Amino acid sequence: GADVAEGKLRDKPMKVRRTIQTSRPDYSAAVVIEQESGVHVATWHGYLSPIHYATALAALGMHYNTAMLVPEINNPGLGVIEHLVRVIGYPNMYVSKMFGGEQMESGEVCFGWRTTGPTRGILVNRIEEMISTNQLNTRDRQLAKELRTFQYDDQGIPRARGSDKDDLVLALGLALQGRYESSVG
């Protein structure tokens, strides 16, 4: 699962001791889940341009036996997917069965996962299911921290609390959704 950073700063700058302190933009994040067991086996987390991130994802996928890549398609994610498909020719891309919450027409192919209000809920439900059934197995401290600060805000949107990040949580949800869809056909 690959969450592609949009470079947004969610929180406004704060004045702290006569200096202006701003939050860093969101990270791009990738989480690798083993298909059969669901064990979290690898994480990538950092800042890269979409083209360089696509290259890193392809290398990560190849390292894990041509793992299925489930990148987010929103905004710069489209550039990541285009590079993976057209330039690199990555052989195992997630093909969306849903687009913006609507079932796709027969024969249409859309690589990647479009995160919208409804589809974000699907990812969160997939994570909640794994946690509630004690099937989520990770040793990644940063992912565990993000999971602990992930909550529903006042508008009912699942997201990180305050200035905390949720990039790894969304990458986890994408990986789990890809795993789920490949197991149910």
Of 65, 116, 61, give the one whose Cα is nearest residue 84.
61
Q: Are 53 and 112 in contact (CB under 8 A)?
A: no
pLDDT surpassing 60 at residue 12: no
- The type of residue at 75 is N
**pLDDT tens for each residue of 50-87:** 999 999 999 999 999 999 999 999 989 999 999 999 99
Q: How far is the first Cα of the chain from the last one, in angstroms, to the nearest whole number? A: 18
CA distance 74 to 116: 9
pLDDT surpassing 60 at residue 17: no
Give the mean pLDDT of 1-24: 60
- Looking at residue 16, what is its pLDDT? 44
